[in-house]
Amino acid sequence: MKFAVLVFPGSNCDIDCYKAVEDTIGEPVDYVWHTATDLSAYDCILVPGGFSYGDYLRCGAISRFAPVMAEVAKAADQGKYVLGICNGFQILTEAGLLPGTLRRNMSLKFRCHDTVLRVENNGNPFTTQYAAGEEITIPIAHGEGNYYCDEATHAQLKKNNQIIFKYVNNPNGSIDDIAGISNERGNVVGMMPHPERAVDSLLGSDDGKKMFTSILKAWRDRHESASVR
Amino acid sequence: MSQQVSAKEPNAEQIAQQQIYKQMGVSDSEYELICGFLGRKPNYTEIGVFSVMWSEHCAYKNSKPLLRRFPTSGPRVLMGPGEGAGIVDIGDNQAVVFKIESHNHPSAVEPYQGAATGVGGIIRDIFSMGARPVALLNSLRFGKLENERVKYLFEHVVSGIAGYGNCIGIPTVGGEVVFDDSYDGNPLVNAMCVGLIDHDKIQRGVAKGVGNPVFYVGPPTGRDGIHGATFASEELTEESEAKRTAVQVGDPFMEKLVMEACLELIDTGIVLGIQDMGAAGLTCSSAEMASKAGNGLELYLDQVPQREEGMSAYEMMLSESQERMLFVVEPKDEAQAMEIFERWGVICSKVGKVTDDGRLKLFHHGEIVGDMPVTALVDECPIYDKPSAVPAYYEQNAAVDTLRYEEVTDLGGALEKVLASPSVSSKAWVYDQYDYMVRTSTAVRPGSDAAVVTIRGTRKGLAMTTDCNGRFVYLDPEVGGKIAVSEAARNIVCSGAEPLAITDNLNFGSPEKPEIFWQMERSVDGMAEACRVLDAPVIGGNVSLYNENAKGAIYPTPVVGMVGLVHDTDHITTQGFKAEGDVILLLGETRGELGGSEFQATVHGVTEGRPPQLDLVVEKKLLDTVLGAIQHGLVASAHDLSEGGLAVALAESCISGGLGAIVEFDSTLRPDVALFSESQSRILLSASAEQAEKLQDFIVSRGVPVQRIGRVAGENLVIHVGGASALNRPVEGLKRVWEDTIPCLMK
């Protein structure tokens, strides 16, 4: 399984995502520049955190116009796996690949600390290794992580099981304590907490590992069933 | 255009007659010297360039004789003071690069940008050496937090640090925040950056190779920060507010791009010399690079990227616009360098040439607008040996008996009061605004004795801390200086690391005052001796003087930034108690020393007397013993005793571990003195019941005093002193008091 970690000017969790793939599942992974126009070689695209384009104008608002984003949309359309973390989540909502938007934290301050998340949907390709309702410790580090969507969208999210993670103690004012969601099809996931920072107990938690093992398993299952056919 | 400029700027005669140089901080005798070096009167651009090069900030003219007293070499030191940052060997072809620098004056008038650009500047110092920055720390001082202006400064300094560090993606892992009246109106904002480098990648700021091109990298130059270095070398007055234009504006996004591009450039191996444009911008970087190579430099100012129209040579040379670098490569490598910056979307412009005439020559609009000998700029600034005098307060304090206060019997209440002091209380309100985890190597987060960052691909780690108790330094600068270094070393050792070296940030009032100079002199002596005994040389630092206003000078605050090496991540130790039943040991001797203590200030409302004494030989033995015990795997938790003494150390270990403790402290001191004395060279350890015996034997065999004082148990902190019950408080309640102080004050 081949991973791409996108690099926008100002991405700063790109290295962490790269290391997390290496350390948790050891699958091949490349940094892919924001100007790239071909993602066909990759099975999973990680859109990392950071301050792409300095978060100037609005988080993710400039990145969505980067050439690589058209390729991300194409990959999502082909059913490939896409995971946006923190700034990556913001970029995916700006690009229209995920519904809703991220507003400033209710405290109006940047917040960095561990949070406890509840796995709301363990049927998603990124979460199959978790138990339903499992509580996991994953850190946050953001100033604009307050998820918002209108009521109709919220109803849709609930109906389609698109809410993947919820905060046990809401740190930012997100609607319905939402920490992470998927698209309707389930192959594109966005979340504010950083699973790539939770893959080593020496650094505080390794509860994020299962996201990487889950996606590898999902890909293998799909790949094997495809080759059997 | 050039006439327009000259109409605005005085000519050489006017500068002399109207003594305009004085507004730039140049004295009459210095002006005479400059005229001598030039063989004529300097024009406006030249006097501007000299004034910043000869400011305290760049030339250390009042502090150099003192700085020479520091030990600066050692078997591991690869680069001492003089370059952007010092470098220490950590084995395996790796080295650690670190430095601390102040941004006090800018932060006093524009806290957000002042603090943010302080962070930006210190990061450039690190990556200009070729190192990858891996962590940031900050040492902050403010007035009393009840004051509205202080709240404003505190809030915006913290968000400025957060805004810059978070965006550029370097974790802010530690530091300190202290509140005391002496810093009212004169906040201290000292930023430290730590980087990692391979030995063969080390860069220097030299303009090598006559005829080689000099490149400018980074955003265009504007009129911001003109005369920032001179501004930083004056006392703060009401007019300081009007000097707001001297404060620069930071763009961390730009710095991230400049950093990545420069590190990529350095990786190619084509760079001959590189230096950041910090204080005094283009002036300082060009003059220093030329000086270090023994060469000259020509600058073509029309080629300098400019953000504003009609900038004069004076303005361009003195601008402190941020995120700019200067580098030299051979002509054949120009294209390769340009390609890298183009790809990162960073401006890179050829602005000069290395020459062999030893002069800094400035060209603008086809004319020579400045021509100065490089050595005069860099090396010839007069160095002043200031008179020093023992202050009256120091004499008076000799007679103060710090044990004369009426006995405090409500010790639980006293503990809560000290825990609720903003300086002692939890700083989570501060560090939760910092991304301290990005780069995924933070093994010990802010809030323990020292932060620890792991080194990928090895089992090693780096421990780091900043420390200085200004009250102790004020009461006795020499002892206070020793304590600052020793406390830093104790924090490093408690985290499981071996102290390597220090960087210092000497924050003082005006050196023109003999009593202040005495403080400088004595504290440097104390620090230097501690560095020698504890094997921690000074590899670089910064001096910030004139930290005073109408109300007086700050407490002398020579901040120590120390880095230590964790030889194996298994050694990493934190302050929190680990398990019910663990045995608690107190190492070191507790004497009746309340002078300068948090208890004295918080409960008795005074800072007086002499500070605790410190024997460096005893300290060294303690440090070696504790590090040895940790490395032998005998220790569960380790915590240095500092502000608030034994009572606060126990409370913090309980709070961090979420566990209670039952303590029987055998002491003949009065209970309030025993619990809150800040006697030095003490460390609190805990160990599992199985290991405790072995640990105690180990400590005794090394000749370090140790007392088994209790065990980790229950949900309360229960303390008996000399057989009598002293206090009994639920840890949860202590935690609330400790955690709520700053958030409540900042609501």
Catalogue all structural domains in chain A, each as residue range(s) with its CATH number: 3-228 (3.40.50.880)
Transcribe B203-248 into DSSP letters: ------STT-EEEEESSPB-STTTTHHHHTTS---GGGGGGGGGS-
| Closest approach of A16 to chain B, Cα-based (Å) | 6
What is the per-residue pLDDT across B443-497, written as a single tens digit (0 to 9) for each? 999 999 999 999 999 999 999 999 999 999 999 999 999 999 999 999 999 999 9
Domain boundary residue, one of B349, B381, B413:
B381
**Alpha-carbon distance B376 to B37, whole Å?**
7
| pLDDT digit string, tens, across residues B354-374 | 999 999 999 999 999 999 999
B168 contact A CB<8A: yes
Lowest mean pLDDT among A42-56, B236-250, B398-412, B501-515: B236-250
List residues of chain A with CB under 8 Å from any CB of chain B: 9-10, 12-13, 15-16, 19-20, 49-51, 53-56, 109-113, 139, 141, 143, 194, 196-197, 199-200, 202-204
Tell if the CB–CB gap between A203 and B443 is shorter than 8 Å.
Answer: yes
For chain B, percent of residues with pLDDT exceeding 90: 92
In this structure, what are the phi and psi dihedrals at residue A180, rounded to the nearest 5 degrees? -160, 145
Report the Cα–Cα distance between both ends of chain B, in Å, rounded. 53
Residue B6 has pLDDT above 70, yes or no: no
More confident residue, B391 or B227: B391
Cβ of A9 and B168 within 8 Å?
A: no
Task: Decide if B431 touches A, using CB distance below 8 A.
Answer: yes
Task: Please confirm, yes or no, whether B632 is among the known catalytic residues.
Answer: no
Angle at B269 between CA B268 and CA B270, to 5 degrees: 95
B686's tokens: 């805990």
Contact flag B438-A12 (C-beta cutoff 8 Å): yes
Instruction: Report how far residue B75's alpha carbon sits from residue A195's, in angstroms, rounded to the nearest whole number.
Output: 42
pLDDT tens digits for range B138-197? 999 999 999 999 999 999 999 999 999 999 999 999 999 999 999 999 999 999 999 999
Is residue B176 within 8 Å of B292, Cβ to Cβ?
no
* Angle made by CA atoms A134, A136, A142, in degrees to the nearest 5: 135
B439: which chain A residues are within 8 Å (Cβ-Cβ)? 15-16
- Of B159, B253, B454, Cβ closest to residue A10: B253
Best mutation target, B112, B341, B430, B437, to test chain A (most A CBs within 10 A)? B437
Which DSSP helix (H) or strand (E) runs through B538? strand B538-544
**B542 labelled ligand-binding:** yes
Chain A residues close to B162, C-beta within 8 Å? 110
Domain that holds residue B42: 1-72+204-381
Q: How far apart are CA B318 and CA B45, in angstroms?
A: 9
Give chain A's count of helices (H) and strands (E): 5, 11
Residue contact A10–B257, C-beta within 8 A: yes
Task: Tell me whether residue B148 is exposed, middle or buried, using C-beta atoms within 10 angstroms of its C-beta: 0 to 12, 13 to 18, 19 or more.
Answer: exposed
Task: Assign residue B673 the CATH number of its domain.
Answer: 3.90.650.10
Residue B414 in tokens: 């006293």
Residue finishing a domain among B381, B397, B419: B381
B336-349: pLDDT as tens digits = 999 999 999 999 99
pLDDT score of B215:
98
Banded pLDDT at B245 (limits 50, 70, 90):
low
Tell me if B460 is assigned to some domain. no
Beta bridge partners of B466: B561
Among B381, B403, B420, give the residue marking a domain's end: B381
Position B4 scores a pLDDT of: 38
> Is B613 in CB contact (< 8 Å) with chain A?
no
Please check if B720 is assigned to a binding site.
Answer: no
Kindly identify which residue of chain B lies nearest to residue A140, measuring between CA atoms: B435
pLDDT digits (tens, 9 = 90+) for A108-130: 999 999 999 999 999 999 999 99
Q: Give the pLDDT score at B5.
A: 45
Does residue B96 contact residue B87 with C-beta atoms inside 8 Å? yes
A3-7/A29-33 β-pairing: parallel
> Does residue B448 sit within a domain?
no
What is this model's ipTM? 0.96
Instruction: Identify which of A19, A53, A113 has the shortest CB distance to residue B432.
Output: A113
Asked if the structure places residue B88 within a domain, the reply is: no
Question: What span, in angstroms and rounded, lies between the C-alpha atoms of B281 and B105?
Answer: 17
Chain A residues with CB under 8 Å of B256 CB are 9-10, 12, 51
Q: Which band of pLDDT confidence, cut at 50, 70 and 90, is reported for residue B134?
A: very high
CA distance A53 to chain B (A): 7
Euclidean distance between CA atoms B583 and B712, whole angstroms = 6
State how far the Cα of B377 lies from the Cα of B59, in Å rounded to an integer: 9
Residue A60 CA from chain centroid, whole number: 14
Residue B649 lies in a domain: yes
- If DSSP codes are grouped into helix, strand and coil, which group holds residue B515? helix
A110–B435 CB contact, under 8 Å: yes
Chain B interface disruption, residue of A5, A8, A12, most B CBs within 10 A: A12
Residue A227, pLDDT score: 67
Nearest CA in chain B to A203: B443
DSSP B595-612: TT-HHHHHHS----SPPP
In a domain, B456, yes or no: no
pTM reported for the whole predicted model: 0.96
Going by pLDDT thresholds of 50, 70 and 90, the confidence category of residue B228 is low
pLDDT at B574 over 70: yes
Q: Is B166–A109 a contact, with Cβ atoms under 8 angstroms apart?
A: no
Structure-block tokens of residue B731: 């840890």
Question: Does B276 carry a binding-site annotation?
Answer: yes
Residue among A13, A51, A112 minimizing CB distance to B432:
A112
B426 is in an annotated binding site: no
Q: What is the pLDDT of residues B417-429, one digit of tens each?
A: 999 999 999 999 9
Q: How far apart are the first and last CA of chain A?
A: 19
Q: Does residue B259 lie in a domain region? A: yes
Token pair, residue B687, equals 């160990």
From chain A, the residues in CB contact with B257 under 8 A are: 9-10
What is the average pLDDT score of chain A? 97
Nearest Cα of chain B lies from the Cα of A72 at a distance, in angstroms, of: 22
Three-state DSSP string of B359-426? EEEEEECCEEEEEEEHHHHHCCCCCCCCCCCCCHHHHHHCCCCCCCCCCCCCHHHHHHHHHCCCCCCC
pLDDT in tens, A139-191: 999 999 999 999 999 999 999 999 999 999 999 999 999 999 999 999 999 99
Do residue A10 and residue B251 have CB atoms under 8 angstroms apart? no
pLDDT of residue B310: 92
> Would the CB atoms of A194 and B441 count as touching at under 8 Å?
no
Indicate the residue of B257, B456, B572 with minimum beta-carbon distance to A9. Answer: B257
How close does chain A come to B474, measured CA to CA in Å?
A: 36
Enumerate the residues of chain B whose CB falls inside 8 A of the CB of residue A200.
440
- Paired with B298 in beta bridges are B353, B361
For residue B601, the model assigns a pLDDT of: 97
What pLDDT sits at residue B232?
Answer: 66
Q: Is the pLDDT of residue B18 over 80?
A: yes
State how far residue B442 is from chain A, nearest Cα, in angstroms.
6
Query: Which pLDDT does position A223 carry in this prediction?
Result: 86
* pLDDT score recorded for residue A225: 76
Q: Are the beta carbons of B166 and A203 separated by less than 8 Å?
A: no
**In this complex, do A54 and B435 lie within 8 Å of one another by their Cβ atoms?**
no
Query: Is residue B134 in some structural domain?
Result: no
- Please state the φ and ψ torsions of residue B132, each to the nearest 5 degrees: -90, 115
Q: Which residues of A are catalytic?
A: 86, 194, 196
**What percent of chain B is modeled with pLDDT above 70?**
97
- Token pair of B577 as six digits: 């108690």
Q: How many domains does chain B fold into?
A: 2
